[in-house]
Amino acid sequence: MVLPNLLDKLAAYVPAPVAQAIYENPRLLTEPTAQRFDTAVLFSDISGFTHLSELLGESGATGSEELTYLINQYFSRMIETIQNYHGQVVKFSGDALTVIFPAKPTLAQAVHYAGECALAMQTAMTDFTNIQTSRGPASFSMKVAIGAGEILECSVGGALGRWEYLVAGDPLVQVATAEHQAQPGQIILSPQAWHVAASFFRGDIIPHSEGFVILVEATTPLDLPELPVLDWTRLSPDEQLLAEKALQCYVPGAVKVRLNEQSEWLAELRRMTIVFVGIGGFDYHAAHALERVQKFLQAVQEMVYSFEGALNKVAVDDKGTMLLLLFGAPLFPMKMMPPALWPVP
């Protein structure tokens, strides 16, 4: 039997839609999967963390601990707010968040949830506008963008049993464009999001922006249903074991080792080489999109692992598909790698 707290720890490292799917149907993924559905997409980006990271990084281990504490405070507050409005965090990009609100039952309602969530997040930001640190005061601000439409959600890769969760589609392009229009403290809705949910909000159209709107306030009260809870103790022992194996497929190997051996480990400073790779040519609207993405991502995984690297992130925005590769991160245990993927001499 798997201890429920281990499942909770693993689920914390897994995109919320994946954890929910595994909870509802515990099974080990053996092939890539994909589905399309309508959703509202919320993207939030913070200003101020990069400067603070550089500042506290000069303090060594003490600075790392302080930065981790501040980041945890911020993300805990934002994630709690997002969950209250039934949002699902699907991607962390440094200090940015990508959140989906599936259209259940309608896309207009999903944008309503996303808009009110964004307003609540901006209200919560007042607690982070003046923070005292060991290196002096710090101030953070946030920009939020909201888009709407159909996305492709898929799990791809599978090399060494590691699956990558990917969301793509026009709403991701919308939020990237909207974020470029936003000023600190603002919430920007794409024309598509505003079109389906204008009756719920009051907003100001941005001049010469082709229909992007600054969200001012909500005009229609939002009635939120009860929050779903992932209670892993409700699963049978066999289901818990399957759920553990399924969740581990989305967790980096280095993290899994730390969870087993250093369960209270949070962060450390390391010298690393970071590689951003921009990929063009993927049409995520095409019928064969899953097949092409799967073939490419599996090849990337195998190549990166053979050079002792880690595929940290796969993201899609207005610039195309982006990969974030890390070299110098804690190594994937060699005993878990087949000889064909051992590091190149």
Q: What is the pLDDT of residue 261?
A: 60
Number of domains in the chain: 1
Short-list 115, 70, 72, CA closest to 92: 72
Q: Say if 271 falls within a structural domain.
A: no
Looking at the domain assignment, is residue 97 inside a domain?
yes
Q: Is residue 232 part of a domain?
A: no
Q: Does 77 map to a domain? A: yes
Q: Does residue 108 belong to any structural domain of this protein?
A: yes
| The pLDDT of residue 260 | 61
Tell me the DSSP string of 116-127. HHHHHHHHHGGG
Rounded to two decimals, the pTM is 0.89
Q: What is the CATH number of the domain that holds 167?
A: 3.30.70.1230
Q: Which domain holds residue 116?
A: 32-223
283, part of any domain = no
> Would residue 18 count as lying in a domain?
no
Q: Which of 223, 261, 259, 264 is nearest to 244 (CA)?
A: 259
DSSP 3-state of 201: strand
Cα gap 188→190, rounded to integer Å: 7
5-32 core/surface letters (b: 16 or more CB in 10 A; e: else)? ebbebbbeebbbbbbebbbeebeebeeb
- Please report whether residue 240 resides in a domain: no
Strand partners of residue 131: 138
Low-confidence residues of the chain: pLDDT under 70: 1-4, 260-269, 331-345
**pLDDT value, residue 344:** 46
Question: What's residue 106's pLDDT?
Answer: 95
